[in-house]
Every structure is written in C-alpha cells, then in structure tokens.
Amino acid sequence: MDRNAPVGVFDSGIGGLTVAREIMRQTPEERIVYFGDTARVPYGSKSQDTIVRYSRQIIRFLRTKGVKAIVIACNTASAYALEIVAKESDIPIIGVVNAGARAAVSATRNGKIGVIGTEATVRSGVYTKVMQEMRPDIEVTGKACPLFVPLVEEGLWHDSVTDEMASRYLTPLKGRYIDTLVMGCTHYPLLRSTLRRLLGDEVTLVNPAYETAIELKELLKAHGLNRNPEDPLEGEKYQFYVSDLAEKFTDFATSILPDEVKETQKINIEEY
Amino acid sequence: MDRNAPVGVFDSGIGGLTVAREIMRQTPEERIVYFGDTARVPYGSKSQDTIVRYSRQIIRFLRTKGVKAIVIACNTASAYALEIVAKESDIPIIGVVNAGARAAVSATRNGKIGVIGTEATVRSGVYTKVMQEMRPDIEVTGKACPLFVPLVEEGLWHDSVTDEMASRYLTPLKGRYIDTLVMGCTHYPLLRSTLRRLLGDEVTLVNPAYETAIELKELLKAHGLNRNPEDPLEGEKYQFYVSDLAEKFTDFATSILPDEVKETQKINIEEY
C-alpha cells in the first residue's frame, strides 16, 4: 500500500466534516478523500440492512480513489456497519465509536456515562457494549435526540427552541447523575455551548471526532502508512464528493474547515 | 388498460398515506399499490436531479405492479418531477400540487394565498406558477417550514415547541394578510389544529390530499378507468411497499388508515 495515498472519510452528510477537520489538524500531512451521502441523509432513522448496504457502496467508491485507510465519520454507520465492513476489507477501517468510548471511560470518575445520538445509534447499544467491554461496571444511559440534527441543519445552534429540546433530552441523563457525556453524533459538537450550559461544568463532554483523529494517527504509524510530508502531492490534497447538492456542501465545508473548499463533485453513489 | 388494475401512489415516506386515505374514502372501489421511499426520505432538502431520478425508479417499480394510473402523493416530487415524468408516461400521472392550487384559488376572497412546504417545494415556486396561470392577479407568499416534518415524525403534533416554530413560520404570512393557506406538504395536515389556532378562523386551510383524491376520481372516470366494484379482487386490495423499515411503516399506516395494514414489503428501490 502506498503511504502517499489519501485517507477516505465518509459520513451520511455534512456532520463528518467535524471529523475531517480534526484529521486535518492532527495529521496535516495526510491527504483526504471525503464522501458525504447528502442524497440519502439522514442515516439515524434507517435500518441496519440499509446502513450496511450504503456503507458498502461508499467504501467501493472510496476504493476507486485508491485510499489507504477509511474512517467512518458517522456514529450511526460506525454502530451498525463498522464490524461487518472492517472484516470484508484488506485496508484498515475505523469508526468514531471506539475512540469516543475509550475517551469517555478514561474521563469518568463516578462510572456513570451518558450517550446522546440518533435513534439508530442509541438503539444499537454499541456504546454501552464497547464501554462495558473496557470496564464492566460502567453504567451507560443512552438518549436519542432525533431533533438535534434538523435543528443544527437549520442553523438554530443558539436558539430557545434548541434549548427547550436539549433540556428535555438531558433531563433523564441528569437524573442518573452522569459525569461524562458522549456527543455520539457528529452534528452535536456544534451544540456544545448549549449542552455545556445545561449540564454545568462538572460533566465532561466527549467529542469522538477529536479522539478518532488521534486513533487514525496512531493507526497509520503502526502500519507504516503515515504520509511523508515531503513526498510530492498529485492533484488536490483534499477532495470532496457528495451524492447531492454539491454547492451547498461546498459552502458549509468552507465555513467549518480551516481552508476554503474550492470544489465538491457530485457522484451517483447507487452505481457503486 | 385494465379497469381492474390498481392505482399507484407514492411518496418519499409516510406522509403520502394522508393522500391514500382520501383516495380510499372517495373511491373505495379502487385498488391501491402504495410505495413509500423510507430509505431515502426526506425529499424536501434534495436537488431536482435527484428527485427526478428517484421518481423514475419508483414509477418503474409501480409499473411492474401493473398500475393503471399514478398519484405522486408528495409535494416536493410533484413540484420537481411531475411535469417530466408525466411526459414520459403512457398512463396518466397526477400530483398533489395542481389540485391544491386549484382549491386555493377558488377559496381565496382577497387574492392573497400562503403556501407552506419543504425547502425544495417552496424554492421551486411551483404553487405560485400554477396559481398565477389560473388567475394572474393572485399574490402568493411561500414559506419553507423545514422543522415541521421532523416535529411531526417525532409525534410532537400538539407541543409547545411545535407552537413556537409554527408561530415563527407563520409570522411573515400573517403580515401579508393571506386569507388562504395551502398545506403544501403531506405531513402538515397533522398539524392542522396548531395552524388553525395560530391563524384564526378567517383563514381557509387547503389540504391538497383531499383535492387530489377528487381529481383522481374524475380522471379515472374520464378515461373509463374507474374500477367496477363488482369485479373480483385478485390478492390484497391495498398493497404497501417501502424501501426501509417495513414494520415501523405498518404501525404508522395502521394508525392513520381506516383498516389495519397487515403487511408492508421492503424492496430495494435502487434496482429499478
């Protein structure tokens, strides 16, 4: 495998850009091919079957770009598809769940961890499973927050309606005295200040995007796959592909990534 | 064409069941094959390209079921795909927009009509175009209400958060002194009581689902395609297909249709 090859990163839409951003920060030498499945977003209300099928299509697409490793930058796809697709693959594939779970387990002091995510992520129970494998006495309380994604996508990051919904979603978690909360959906870090205000300073907020970028860095090193920053770049360092609405994606990506995104290409993912 | 053949009805998901329900009420003799694209819902935030491609796939699927006519029970797909797919088809295809527009134009007294819908439906300007073709002096104010679909799907039909969002969405329409409001998304009739309370009794609420069922009835008669209720039924009178989460769909359909839905079949719509 070519060390100079790009890393593939995919998500159901735009949320995974928070993971791409962390990878750009922590391993600035790496090239990235990002795919956002904007035609079929959201994944959080779909079945495992469908999520696995979509993930396989995306992985086949990313392989056509010669990626050396793949990051599933979507909690729902990590929850349902990672274990299956990783077994089928001859290049390393990691997801956001393991890194997020590990960080939460090392952050908690009282052993009570909350996980917020989409309906599908919470239903999967994957965070509980992974965290209890690390430390069996951990008590995990999951809470699906299905309105957070549409609220974030509407730009209501600081809004009374978002406050009200967040307050309802967090009530059962506060009742369990959690001291650590996993933001188990890539959109949620954009609501960090609301969550912080409602939970107070004593609760640690875990952002799996950050942890995943660290895991990727270590993985590439362990496999001798980390890119030499002195090797020549062929073509764009960062490439962006979506299944719909390329221009809207370009605008959003430019607003959250460190550098301007020049172009996003739309592809028909159903052909892969 | 066989008069005994079923009518095809499709939507991006569950919302079109409000149209199917009206068809069942107004033409109880007709057989229906319903398809809900629950894997790729919502359509309201997608591009025209994608909506047309998805609509063509669904029409190809419905044709395999031998339908004699098709109702696009989705405002967004009607707005973007109807004109294109109707031209390609040798069986009649109708959408919800024309019937809704006609009812609004005949209901208004002051010529000021509001249209609420998804981002894509409102952006298309299709209601304005169709209504102004009928009566050029009509003043149409469109307002996208992107959070209504997730709020309805979360069951928050009567809730302070829905009230607050509805109040924000309706403010510009009230400022234009509309006397008629088209509920331009099949989910919205489920918020009828909230809309009614905020707008007052002087504003007429138009439900395109109801108007579409009337249009279908007249169309079948005009083409000599209305089913003879005495003809024998082969198989189930009403058949339901989705692209994901068949059981959840069955539960929802049973809750809003007059009779229990026994079974929903999941198909891979990408193969059509």
Given this model, what pLDDT does residue A39 score? 96
- CB under 8 A, 24+ apart: contacts of B46-51: B46/A39, B46/A244, B46/A245, B46/B76, B46/B120, B47/A244, B47/A245, B48/B80, B48/B81, B48/B120, B48/B124, B49/A244, B50/A39, B50/A243, B50/A244, B51/B76, B51/B77, B51/B80, B51/B81, B51/B120
Q: In what order do the strands lie in the sheet with A112-117?
A: A139-144, A112-117, A180-183, A204-206
- Decide: A48 and A80 in contact? Cβ < 8 Å: yes
pLDDT tens-digit map of A174-208: 999 999 999 999 999 999 999 999 999 999 999 99
pLDDT range class, residue A153, cuts 50, 70, 90: confident
Residue type, B213: A
Q: Rounded CA gap, B208 and B226, in Å? A: 21
Given this model, what pLDDT does residue B153 score? 86
Residue type, B82: L
Active-site residue (options: A19, A93, A94, A185)? A185
Residue B144, token pair as written in the block: 């996208």
According to CATH, the topology of domain B98-208 is Rossmann fold (3.40.50)
Chain B: which residues have CB within 8 Å of chain A? 39-40, 45-47, 49-50, 146-147, 150-151, 153-154, 160-161, 164-165, 243-245, 268, 270
Strands A7-11 and A69-72: parallel
For residue A39, give the chain B residue with the closest CA.
B46
Between CA A103 and CA B14, with CA A75 as vertex, the angle to 5 degrees is 150
For residue A43, give the chain B residue with the closest CA.
B39
Residue among B47, B160, B245 whose CB faces A244 most closely: B47
Given this model, what pLDDT does residue A165 score? 98
Given this model, what pLDDT does residue A233 score? 86
Active-site residue (options: A59, A74, A96, A253)? A74
The mean of the pLDDT values for chain B is 96
Residue B127, annotated ligand binder? no
Given this model, what pLDDT does residue A1 score? 80
pLDDT tens-digit map of B16-68: 999 999 999 999 999 999 999 999 999 999 999 999 999 999 999 999 999 99
Q: What is the mean pLDDT of residues A153-159?
A: 92
ipTM of the complex: 0.89
B164/A161 CB distance under 8 A = yes
Domain ranges of chain B: 7-95+210-271, 98-208
Residue A43, annotated ligand binder? yes
Of the candidates A81, A52, A95, A33, the one whose C-alpha atom is nearest the C-alpha of residue A219 is A95
What DSSP string describes B163-196? HHHHHHHHHHHHHTT-SEEEE-STTGGGGHHHHH
Active-site residue (options: B185, B195, B216, B225)? B185
**Which CATH number does B7-95+210-271 carry?**
3.40.50.1860
Of the candidates A188, A270, A252, A192, the one whose C-alpha atom is nearest the C-alpha of residue A34 is A252
pLDDT tens-digit map of A54-91: 999 999 999 999 999 999 999 999 999 999 999 999 99
- B260 three-class SS: coil
Mutate to test the interface with A, among B12, B14, B37, B50 (most CBs of A within 10 A): B50
Residue B255, annotated ligand binder? no
- Decide: A259 and A46 in contact? Cβ < 8 Å: no
Angstroms from A154 CA to nearest CA on chain B: 8
Residue B12, annotated ligand binder? yes
Give A270's contacts in chain B (Cβ within 8 Å).
270
pLDDT range class, residue B263, cuts 50, 70, 90: very high
pLDDT tens-digit map of B166-191: 999 999 999 999 999 999 999 999 99
pLDDT range class, residue B98, cuts 50, 70, 90: very high
Residue A75, annotated ligand binder? yes
Give B243's contacts in chain A (Cβ within 8 Å).
50
B244/A49 CB distance under 8 A = yes
Buried b (16+ CB within 10 A) or exposed e, A59-80: bebbeeeebbbbbbbbbbbbbb
For residue B246, give the chain A residue with the closest CA.
A47
Residue type, B211: E
Active-site residue (options: B5, B58, B73, B74)? B74
Helix or strand (DSSP H, E) at B212: helix B208-222
Residue A223, annotated ligand binder? no
- Decide: B15 and B37 in contact? Cβ < 8 Å: no
Residue among A50, A153, A165 whose CB faces B244 most closely: A50
For residue A166, give the chain B residue with the closest CA.
B161
B74 is catalytic: yes
Mutate to test the interface with B, among A38, A49, A50 (most CBs of B within 10 A): A50
Of the candidates B10, B13, B184, B7, the one whose C-alpha atom is nearest the C-alpha of residue B97 is B184
Spatial CB neighbours of B99, under 8 Å, sequence gap ≥ 6: B208, B211, B212, B214, B215
- Decide: B97 and B78 in contact? Cβ < 8 Å: yes
How many Cβ atoms from other residues are within 10 Å of residue A122's Cβ? 25
B145 is catalytic: no
Q: Rounded CA gap, A116 and A254, in Å? A: 27
